[in-house]
Structure 1
Amino acid sequence: MNLYRRAAVGAATLAIGGLLATAAPSAAAPSPTLAAPDIPLANVKAHLTQLQSIASANGGNRAHGRPGYKASLDYVKGKLDAAGFTTRIQQFTSSGATGYNLIADWPGGDANQVLMAGAHLDSVSAGPGINDNGSGSAGILETALAVSRAQLKPDKHLRFAWWGAEELGMVGSRYYVNNLPSTDRSKISGYLNFDMIASPNPGYFVYDDDPTIEKTFKDYYAGLNVPTEIETEGDGRSDHAPFDSAGIPVGGLFSGAERSKSSAQAQKWGGTAGQAFDRCYHSSCDTSSNINDTALDRNSDAVAYAIWNLAGDGTPVPPGDSYENTADVAIPDNGAAVTSTVNVTGRTGNAPATLKVDVDIRHTWRGDVVVDLVAPDGTAYRLKNSSSNDSADDVVASYTVNASSEPANGAWKLRVQDVAAQDTGYINSWKLTF
């Protein structure tokens, strides 16, 4: 984790210009039926041992432009290649040295909905960077390998990334975002960042950027009866910032850096009040002994939990369940559109290709009425157009929508607009049947 604040990141990303104009859809979260795996702590620590050995053999660090960084990248890439990922190395230049990002894609999933998880792989030049950020790098590496072991067939396409030169100001991740075509950027449904997840005096902090991603992490910790706090210490100081500035939904975890743990935090999390979460932050003592095993274990499992939940496990949505809103909503005459919402929860995967939409709209001239189904990500499906020749009363009808590209869970809306004068009405009820 570097020392830059969000303001600095915002200034740096202004150069992206028009590329940032279109926001990506929010990361809707299918409810899982296939449980996320337990990530073996021993495996994650084995990766950290390798990163420590690489640093020790290369001048004591894994910093940008130093041989220890490239050796770290080669180690991670070798593991991913053997596990069946498609990997590529992206090169950039910073401070007169060549830098490298490693991108790994898991085959399958909807290419128009990409869930990314990333961590920076570089250390500062002062030390080996095992907590900052070997911990995040190892956690997402072992989660990626767990995806391979499970031969996961997620609804969304999965992409993992290890960033270079984060310690110089998110250079690698910013380069990646800057060079994404706008069409590819719009396909990223969420980016999860993991920077320092095993601090020796740990806290359990959750980014508060995207509500769905935030809730996913909070739900995981609630299941462990571990309280969380909103992450503020590192806000804008890590690789989620360029994604956030580009309008991509982001979230992540953090176990604390140079700030001191308060008495209240020590009471709920344990550890030592008045001491930094990581006393070896950006120091030579950030070695393999600078790791809290409990935090590393919990946070690595949280990475997998988020990936399995947010990407979906490919399980078909069971048919037949209905979700209905019977509250009346007045439709203004020749006015703005109104909406009625049904919240779909507890399902897995995407909606069906034969999603049934039953509407009951009371109106004295139904030809005035335009009706859309709006998916949780804002995509609109036209159900009915207006027609000056349709003078009958009411719209009581059933429609079938191919919503197979949409996650089933979320807030679905019926949007109705009266586009002509002199007749009025209201939404009486509507229903979705899966």
Structure 2
Amino acid sequence: MKLSVPGVRRIPAIRAIPTISARVALPVGLALAGLLATTAPSATAAPVASPRPAQSAPAAVLAAPDIPLANVKAHLTQLSSIAAANGGNRAHGRPGYLASVNYVKGKLDAAGFTTTVQQFTSSGATGYNLIADWPGGDPNQVIMSGSHLDSVTSGAGMNDNGSGSSAILETALAVSRAQLQPAKHLRFAWWGAEELGLVGSRYYVTNLPTADRAKISGYLNFDMIGSPNPGYFVYDDDPTIEQTFKDYYAGLGVPTEIETEGDGRSDHAPFANVGVPVGGLFSGADYTKTAAQAQKWGGTSGQAFDRCYHSSCDTTANINDTALDRNSDAVAYAVWTLSAATVPPPTGTVFETLTDVTIPDNGAAITSSLNVTGIAGNAPPTLRVGVDIKHTWRGDVVIDLIGPSGTAYRLKNSSGSDSADNVIATYTVNASSEVASGLWRLRVQDVAAQDTGYIDSWRLTF
């Protein structure tokens, strides 16, 4: 964390037969509202098409995952090793900083991010910003999270700012593991030369076209979030971002305070100065923890939040695990919440139609349609087809599943000896050659006289 930056602006279910309806059955916990539609039936016995195709499960807004503390600390260990192998620090213009950039970039590239290394010059040395974009989301609404990756020359910089850098790295990797599909575009950044006066972040903002600045819906900054004698401070800049962090900590029963110690001292300042909404978290630097703060947060009053601030003792031993764990989870909570993070329907999603279709006695085959959307790739080799057909002589009934390609998969043949009523069964079909998303049809034919029935419902489970 930089010592001071002047000129920062604060931003301050009964059914008549036949009825017509269509629905989607969702996994437990997903809302069903708005997915059921009904209309009056035709009086004819001919097949009746649903006025509204069955819909796929909508993408579900997810709760943020728990960020494993062990993973965050593993990144810290790697950054510590990099410092140890490069003169004991990861400062701007030193080999330890570039090695830190390469470590983070390698993790992100492997996880599917699009990474960009931005070069700048400061104090006669080349500096680097690392920018990582997650595919998808509205490019006109960007949620950006950032931390400075450089240390001072006097130490490895594990709390300042390996802590923030490691937390947003693991959050980014959690985005990849979840294959998140956020409504807003996600961008992560690791800044260079923060300790020389916010040089890297200023360079990024200055060189960002005005139109692109306007696309950043919020910039979240994480600088020193594992202080050994921690406090829980929230930036009081953008009200929405501020409340998001407060909500997270309220859920833990942990009180917060407005961050004043480091206001304007870190990489949110260049963004705030051009009108980008900003927010962030901070666990304290060289200021002294008061008795009141020790009473509500624990720790030692009369002692600095971080006694090793900008010192050689800012090692991996200079980290409070509880603070790092809580703040890392808060990073993910904010990213998930502010981007309205969603995922596609999970495996096991059921697509079902309740559209009743009359089966003519000893007549032509009829079909019932089901539109599947939102399922990537091909159908599974064990596609489950659930059928509920009401009929007075099931032996008359022949049933086929028709895939999006037009291929027919026989589910049931007719049988003169099968004299029971109704066909209520689940069949398994190897439909792996079919694209999953598309129009699927159930084709049913009555091949003998004197008995009638109708399709009550049918479903596909992916």
Kept after mapping to 2: 8 A contact 1:6/1:241:
no
Q: Contact 2:5 / 2:197 at 8 angstroms: preserved in 1?
A: no
Asked if residue 167 in structure 1 is aligned to residue 195 in structure 2, the reply is yes
1:105 is paired with a residue of what secondary structure? strand
2-structure distance, mates of 1:303, 1:229:
17
Secondary structure, in 3 states, of the residue corresponding to 2:190? strand
Please state if 1:68 is matched with 2:58. no
- Counterparts of 1:192-207 in structure 2 under 5 Å? 192-207=220-235
Deviations 1:1-20 (A, max 9, x none): 0112343x57xxxxxxxxxx
Task: Decide whether aligned partners of structure 1 residues 72 and 315 sit closer, same or farther in structure 2, where only a CA change above 3 A counts.
Answer: closer
For 1:231 and 1:129, locate their aligned partners in 2 and report how far apart those are by CA, in whole Å.
21
**How high is the sequence identity, in percent, across the aligned residues?**
81
Secondary structure of the equivalent of 1:209? coil
Q: Please list every run of 5 or more consecutive structure 2 residues that lacks an aligned counterpart in the other structure.
A: 12-59, 345-462
Aligned partner letter, 1:206: V
Q: What CA distance in whole angstroms lies between the structure 1 residues aligned with 2:179 and 2:79?
A: 26
Counterparts of 1:87 and 1:280 in 2: how far apart (Å)?
Answer: 32
Tell me which amino acid in the other structure corresponds to 2:277: P
Match of 2:242 in 1: 214
Counterpart CA distance in 2 for 1:160 and 1:115 is: 8
**Matched position secondary structure for 1:54:** helix
Distance 1:67 1:242 in 2: 26
The one-character-per-residue Cα deviations of 1:334-368 (angstroms, maximum 9, x if unpaired) are: xxxxxxxxxxxxxxxxxxxxxxxxxxxxxxxxxxx
Partner residue, 1:87 = 115
**3-state SS of 1:136 partner:** helix
Establish whether residue 136 from structure 1 lines up as the match of residue 189 from structure 2: no
Q: Is the 8 A contact 2:61 2:340 kept in 1?
A: no
Say whether 1:180 aligns with 2:208.
yes
1-structure distance, mates of 2:271, 2:289: 29
Question: Which residue number corresponds to residue 281 of structure 2?
Answer: 253
Partner deviation per Cα, 1:141-184 (whole Å, 9 max, x = no partner) = 00000000000000000000000000000000000000000111
Map residues 9-408 of structure 1 onto 2, 5 A cutoff.
33-314=61-342
Aligned AA (1:210): D
Residue type at the aligned position of 1:4: S
Q: Relative to structure 2, which stretch is displaced further, 32-41 or 142-151?
A: 32-41
**Structure 1 Cα separation of the partners of residues 203 and 341 of structure 2:** 31
C-alpha distance in structure 1 between counterparts of 2:223 and 2:285, whole Å? 10
CA distance in 2, matches of 1:178, 1:168: 17
Which residue type is aligned with residue 87 of structure 2? G
- The answer as to whether partners of 2:180 and 2:343 remain within 8 angstroms in 1 is no
Q: Is the 8 A contact 2:146 2:219 kept in 1?
A: yes
Give CA-to-partner distance per residue, 1:310-341, whole Å, 9 cap, x none.
0002379xxxxxxxxxxxxxxxxxxxxxxxxx
What CA deviation, in whole Å up to 9, does each residue of 1:235-287 have, x standing for no partner?
00000000000100000000000000000000000000000000000000000
Whether the aligned pair in 2 keeps the contact of 1:87 and 1:102 (CA below 8 Å) is: yes
Give distance in 2, aligned partners of 1:286 and 1:302.
23
- RMSD, matched Cα: 1.3
Distance 2:289 2:262 in 1: 14
Counterpart residue type for residue 158 of structure 1: L
- For 1:49, give the aligned amino acid: T
1:34 is displaced (CA, Å) by 1.2
Gaps of 5+ in 1: 11-22, 24-31, 317-434
Please tell me the residue identity of whatever aligns with 1:131: N
Distance between the aligned counterparts of 1:314 and 1:55, measured in 2? Answer: 37
Counterpart-to-counterpart distance in 2, 1:229 and 1:91? 36
Moved over 3 A (4+): none
TM-score normalized by the length of structure 1? 0.67
CA distance in 2, matches of 1:98, 1:263: 44
Equivalent residue number for residue 5 of structure 1: 5
What's the secondary structure of 1:91's corresponding residue? strand
* Amino acid corresponding to residue 179 of structure 1 in structure 2: N
Q: Secondary structure at the match of 1:284?
A: coil
Q: Identify the structure with the greater helix proportion.
A: 1
CA distance in 1, matches of 2:5, 2:228: 23
